[in-house]
Structure 1
């Protein structure tokens, strides 16, 4: 494993991390979660990502139980949560968003479910048009001063809102956001490479990216269509399918199939190759992996060696077939 600083902070997190989204609490229960986290830990992963909304809080409970079962040393790993969507199927107004009330209470609930006394990373899962940014900044600063959160950040916030949060924090001598968690992969590049480009040096922003495989498109498994057993084939995941595939003009399915063909020609599996491409971006602090089987996780960990093993000509071919 290699370790990278979280932006300009002093925190060293594994370049590959492990997340609970759409698996823990849904596909994956306590026993399988324990096996996955043990395999991740044994291969040097020290950052485990979660959110209040994943399986309505069940993902955090399953992860907390698995980590407790394994008795991992608390000073050896980082765990995150995210706040915004709430942990209920139909949340009431005070059970979602980024008000001081929900940010604070969601943190306490995440601590209870994850069985820890502090969150290493706490993300605002989306911008909240109904909560002043200043209120959210003050709430996060209070949690840090209380020792319940160590670093806070954002997820899928516009660059202008991240700048506003930093400006408010500086003006009031508060803790500013350290990191952002955007989607980033060969088919979704604009926000990380263009919109956030000035923020890495200007604000010391670190990014922990989600969906390096574009919800599985870049594995090549959807080349023949969407099987009912696959993630994007499930009836309750049609929203995710729309996000992943995008509009017809974006041709993501065709570009993903072309990428899988190049991977085969290079003699490597598409999934670790796609993850390796993300790691080539020096601004990526960590790429979050998801898996429902240990074999799947172990294959994706091969991304680390592919970063160096694939030559420049190979990477140019990857860029050529996935260009939008």
Structure 2
């Protein structure tokens, strides 16, 4: 188990991504995935109010609604539920009124009394940061949100958020959710991790498996005829990307583990990372995700993955 920042949230070091619920996983499949995840010890579920408004016929909130129906049907205990605000078509941005209305809508869809971890999903330059920070603080004061977090914020803006919170006596963010994985490292390692270390925040990285590339499934940049997410994964199948897959495969063989499990274990070994986010569109994918939480890489294995995935202009 791992603690998220300064919070009292203690979770298995893996978050199940809810972005596929209502998209590539229908209601029944989503229920089966959630059942398998929690049966295997998983207790941290990540979603957002905007998931999955981009799907034809959807309006946003589908993932939260499915999770809420599952929670009502199963009544599990001890789960940590994280969601986000700013991308639902009815509640875009981070104005104070919008943050409050979106939070109340998320609570209704999820069927919970309070959100364990509430993220500002994307920075909103059109709203003064003081207004957004104050709105999040008011949600905590009202008991609607237990902990505050930020996603897709620059290091400078996170520091501004912290400064405003400190001056106003508002609880600081306990987690940061950046795009971070073996094929997307530098921005996070150079700027976000130092901020997290300074303010005792945990990283909960998304795209932990690079849209599926770090499962080893995609060995070509040609994704024609593949799944809806394949294009995002196949773009990494460059010479550099495939060298990373080869190294993952070699280490996986030594541990009798999957490539995906090793990629997630590498993330867990990075400074301030508490729980990578990974999603499953099929129930049989869940076992490999959970296996990553029990896989401990040696320091030599971590260094070898660091070396093969190191960014340089030639690899850009």
What TM-score does the superposition give when structure 2 sets the normalisation length?
A: 0.89
Tell me the distance in 2 between the aligned counterparts of 1:151 and 1:304: 24
Q: Secondary structure at the match of 1:82?
A: strand
- 1:262-302: per-residue Cα shift (whole Å, max 9, x none)? 23333142211111110111411111120011211101222
Matched, 1:144 2:146: no
Paired position in structure 2 for 1:314: 301
In structure 2, relative to structure 1, the CA distance for the partners of 1:202 and 1:256 (3 Å cut) is: same
8 Å CA contact 2:7, 2:174 repeated in 1: yes
Change in CA separation of 1:252 and 1:163 when aligned onto 2, cut-off 3 Å: farther
Question: Over aligned residues, Cα RMSD in angstroms?
Answer: 1.8
- With normalisation by structure 1, the TM-score equals 0.87
1:301 pairs with one of 282, 290, 315? 290
Unmatched runs of 5 consecutive residues or more in structure 1: 246-250
Counterparts of 1:1-324 in structure 2 under 5 Å?
A: 3-21=1-19, 23-55=20-52, 56-73=60-77, 76-86=78-88, 88=89, 91=90, 95-224=91-220, 225-233=222-230, 240=232, 245=235, 253-266=238-251, 267=253, 268-308=257-297, 311-324=298-311
Aligned length: 299
State the shift of 1:150 in Å.
0.3
Change in CA separation of 1:314 and 1:203 when aligned onto 2, cut-off 3 Å:
closer
Q: Distance in 2 between matches of 1:283 and 1:53?
A: 27
Q: Give yes or no for contact 2:122–2:151 (8 Å, CA) kept in 1.
A: yes
How far 1:252 sits from its partner (Å)? 5.9
Residue 228 of structure 1: how far off its partner (Å): 2.0
Structure 2 distance, partners of 1:36, 1:288, is 14
Q: 1:134 to 1:252 in 2, by over 3 A?
A: farther
Summarize the Cα distance change of 1:173–1:265 in structure 2 as closer, same or farther, 3 Å threshold.
closer
Give every structure 1 segment of 4 or more consecutive aligned residues whose post-TM-superposition deviation is greater than 4 Å.
Answer: none
**In 1, distance between residues paired with 2:81 and 2:87?**
19
Tell me the distance in 2 between the aligned counterparts of 1:264 and 1:35.
28
1:82-106 deviation line (CA, Å, top 9, x unaligned) = 11112x3xx5xxx310000110000
Q: Which has the higher helix share?
A: 1
Name the CA distance, whole Å, in 2 between partners of 1:318 and 1:231.
28
Partners of 1:31 and 1:66 within 8 A in 2: no
Query: How many angstroms apart in 2 are the aligned matches of 1:319 and 1:162?
Result: 26
Give the distance between the partners of 1:184 and 1:100, measured in 2 at CA.
Answer: 29
Contact 2:197 2:272 survives alignment (8 Å):
no
Indicate the SS of the match to 1:286.
coil
Residues 124-150 of structure 1: CA distance to partner in whole angstroms, max 9, x if unpaired? 001101000100111011110110000
Q: Any idea what the Cα deviations from partners look like across 1:218-237, whole Å, max 9, x if unmatched? A: 2222213214232334xxxx
The DSSP-based 3-state class of the residue aligned with 1:304 is helix
Give 5+ residue unaligned stretches, structure 2.
Answer: 53-59, 312-316
